[in-house]
Structure 1
Amino acid sequence: MSPMNEETKGQGAPRLGRGRDWILGGTLLLALLAAVHWSIGWGPLLAPWRELSPWLLGWLFLLTALSYALRAVRVHDYFRPRFNGQFPVVLRLSILHNTANNLLPMRAGEFVFPWLMRRYFGHGLLDSAAALLWIRLLDLHFLALIAILILNLSHPSWIWWGLALLWVGGLALVVLVSGMGETARLAGDGKIRSIIRRVLLAAPGDHWLVARVYGWTALIWSLKFAAFTSLLRFFLPLDLWRLLAGVMGAELSSVLPFHGIAGSGSYELAAVAALAPLGVDPKLALAGAVNLHLFLLGSTLILGGLAFLLPKSAGKAAVSQAFS
């Protein structure tokens, strides 16, 4: 069966997780509810919200919303000129994809991206998934750069600056790898070779495109970390590097082998695991992580709801321009 036929089979709704994923996710959610109830109490945990300035909350939400919008800018730039004139549709796609990622268990939300790419733009499922893989690799690359920043803040040294420069310089490998798609001799059967080749071809091959996409990635995560560390500081008055480490742990919960419904349980566990070794009381760390997660979920639901107001298509004129 050809790759195109395989993609055609996936035109229906995306797979939103297996039954056991939802069972495990539900178990994590119940475990979190029980842990908070018996160790802290929901009343004491939520009480600090009454003291939080509405202006500060609105500002942090604005930063978070801007980071969501920049994700759409990144996708739009990545697939240029195919999406020229269709940014509102790309914005809808990007926000719904991130909403699904934040709400569905076991990262099932990632399947929404290629599904919406096919539904809105007729883009191939495998090609969309391959492009998303490269975007996620750039995300992880920049998160590693933030980790180097945390190390420098905790133990200042010129070594970290040198390591950061080397790490950023490694982005040149993306351009080199992208050129291997047509010429590389790949092992394995025909189907595996075809998939690997399409992944290589989906890489941003132009060095200016790599620089732009990485720049958008840096802005996206900088805004999100600025908003989340500011909010976490309200609940946990810690040093900046510890706050960054806590947010980093929470964000990296997505790479755990288990991921709860709406990240519940896994998000908090990862944050506590990052903060507890740094001398933060686990109960305080848990309270801060839960409140941070509530802000994330609230922002997700608001922005996800607003995304449905955006158009699903840009009209025939824009489509003609995009493919000209």
Structure 2
Amino acid sequence: MTSAPNSSRRSWLSRHAMSLLALACLVAYAAFVEWQWGWGRLLLQWSRVGAGTAVAALSLLTATYFVRAQRIYDYFPAETSGRFLQLFRLTQVHNLLNIMLPFRAGETSFPLLMRSQFAVPLTRATAALLVMRLLDLHALCAAAGVGLVLGTRNTTVAWLAWSAFLVSPLVFFAAKGPIFRHLNGTLPQKLEKLLEEVEAGVPANAAGFVRAWAFTVLNWAVKVIVLAWVLALLGVTPLSATFGGALGGELSSVLPLHAPGGVGTYPAGITAGAVAFGAGRDRAAVALMAEAAINAHLLIVASACVGTALSIVLSWFSAKPR
């Protein structure tokens, strides 16, 4: 016979399992950073940026997590209505798992969490995640493309091309019916199944798609601009290279070989992206970029940690009886 205290303890652990997992990830990463670099040394390097600027950058990055949660809240209105704070905690745990787990294993948590927390079928949640990731990739490239435009001489043509690329998802949605009908039956079986999932994950009406697209563009515009701003303050030049660094870092996080926490791969992506967009390749320039890349990566992880901690606190307050 199970005693009441043991039953209550298991019930508490069940309710707060996600929060405890998130906190464990935070502690593990903090210990790793101290062992690898030392927090004192890394925090000292932020003196060049200034505490006020660092807090502002961290606040803006944390704010993007609310935008992401709002996109999902709008994507599943029937299932999530009136439960934004619970959804915010779910998105933060998913984001932290994406950062901490290798090989993109954290992505699998989203459909599982949506099913367990909001009773969203696995197929629908997976299809929606796929579409949102395609929108993320497009918006990320569009935001980073500003760096390319700034680095060209014929800015009029460049801005027109950039604008056309920016709104291309809206054109795709307008033509999705004929496109899906044309592709149906012409692709290999595996691609046919992928196509069906993409179609199932696209919002049914234009208003819903425009909102999803707008939330995505806002999220990535803020994130890339903040990262470019921080890299510039840390000494990365020219301006186009700061946008390239932001793009390289974020693209590295979607690679199959993404390291736990992005340690090594994310800073390497920033450095490679900055060099590809015009940064210097001499030893001194690369060393400066590597240092800036590590600090930018820590800023990303710090924002994820702050967002997760904030979601835990807000969920606890929302769970209190009124």
* TM-score band w.r.t. shorter chain: 0.7 to 0.9
Instruction: Give the letter aligned to residue 73 of structure 1.
Output: Q
Q: Is the 8 A contact 1:179 1:201 kept in 2?
A: no
Local SS of the residue matching 1:82: helix
The partner residue of 1:297 within 281, 293, 301 is 301
2:225 aligns to what? 226
| Cα 1:181–1:310 shift into 2, 3 Å | farther
Give a deviation string over 1:79-109, Cα, whole Å, max 9, x none. Answer: 2243222211221111111111111111111
In structure 2, C-alpha distance between the alignment counterparts of 1:169 and 1:106, rounded to whole Å: 31
Judging by fraction of residues, say which structure has more helix. Answer: 2
1:155 aligns to what? 152
Give a deviation string over 1:18-63, Cα, whole Å, max 9, x none. Answer: xxxxxxxxxxx99xx5xxx8xxx99876532244432222211110
Instruction: Give the letter aligned to residue 91 of structure 2.
Output: S
Structure 1 length-normalised TM: 0.76
In structure 1, C-alpha distance between the alignment counterparts of 2:40 and 2:313, rounded to whole Å: 35
Residue 122 of structure 1, CA deviation: 0.8
Q: Is the 8 A contact 2:75 2:208 kept in 1?
A: yes
Residue 272 of structure 1, CA deviation: 1.2
Structure 2 length-normalised TM: 0.76
1:206 aligns to what? 205
Aligned residues: 282
In structure 1, C-alpha distance between the alignment counterparts of 2:151 and 2:304, rounded to whole Å: 32
1:251 aligns to what? 250
Local SS of the residue matching 1:304: helix
Structure 1, unmatched stretches of 5+, are 1-12, 15-28, 316-324
CA RMSD of aligned residues (A): 3.3
Q: Is the 8 A contact 1:150 1:244 kept in 2?
A: yes
In structure 2, C-alpha distance between the alignment counterparts of 1:168 and 1:249, rounded to whole Å: 19
In structure 2, C-alpha distance between the alignment counterparts of 1:199 and 1:159, rounded to whole Å: 32
Instruction: Report % sequence identity.
Output: 29
2:139 aligns to what? 142
Residue 303 of structure 1, CA deviation: 1.9
| Cα 1:239–1:192 shift into 2, 3 Å | closer
Residue 252 of structure 1, CA deviation: 0.8
Q: Is the 8 A contact 1:114 1:129 kept in 2?
A: yes
State whether structure 2 residue 214 is matched by structure 1 residue 215: yes
In structure 1, C-alpha distance between the alignment counterparts of 2:74 and 2:274, rounded to whole Å: 36
Range that drifts further, 141-150 or 126-135:
141-150
1:276 aligns to what? 275
State whether structure 2 residue 313 is matched by structure 1 residue 309: yes
| Cα 1:83–1:113 shift into 2, 3 Å | same
Give a deviation string over 1:224-247, Cα, whole Å, max 9, x none. Answer: 123222222221252322211111
Question: Which of structures 1 and 2 has the larger relative contact order (alpha carbons within 8 angstroms, sep 6+)?
Answer: 1
State whether structure 2 residue 88 is matched by structure 1 residue 85: no
Instruction: Give the letter aligned to residue 202 of structure 2.
Output: A
Matches within 5 A, 1:33-48: 47-48=44-45
In structure 2, C-alpha distance between the alignment counterparts of 1:188 and 1:161, rounded to whole Å: 35
Residue 306 of structure 1, CA deviation: 2.7
In structure 1, C-alpha distance between the alignment counterparts of 2:315 and 2:174, rounded to whole Å: 34
| Cα 1:225–1:114 shift into 2, 3 Å | same
| Cα 1:309–1:106 shift into 2, 3 Å | same
| Cα 1:57–1:182 shift into 2, 3 Å | same
Q: Is the 8 A contact 1:148 1:164 kept in 2?
A: yes
Local SS of the residue matching 1:173: helix
Give a deviation string over 1:263-306, Cα, whole Å, max 9, x none. Answer: 11110111111223423321111101001111111222222233
Range that drifts further, 214-223 or 45-54:
45-54
Residue 139 of structure 1, CA deviation: 1.0
Q: Is the 8 A contact 1:150 1:245 kept in 2?
A: yes
Give a deviation string over 1:249-272, Cα, whole Å, max 9, x none. Answer: 111112334111101111011111
Q: Is the 8 A contact 1:71 1:216 kept in 2?
A: yes
Residue 74 of structure 1, CA deviation: 0.7
1:21 aligns to what? none
The partner residue of 2:168 within 145, 167, 170 is 170
In structure 2, C-alpha distance between the alignment counterparts of 1:231 and 1:189, rounded to whole Å: 45
Give a deviation string over 1:305-324, Cα, whole Å, max 9, x none. Answer: 33223449x99xxxxxxxxx
1:287 aligns to what? 291
Local SS of the residue matching 1:146: helix
In structure 1, C-alpha distance between the alignment counterparts of 2:177 and 2:75, rounded to whole Å: 14
In structure 1, C-alpha distance between the alignment counterparts of 2:251 and 2:42, rounded to whole Å: 23
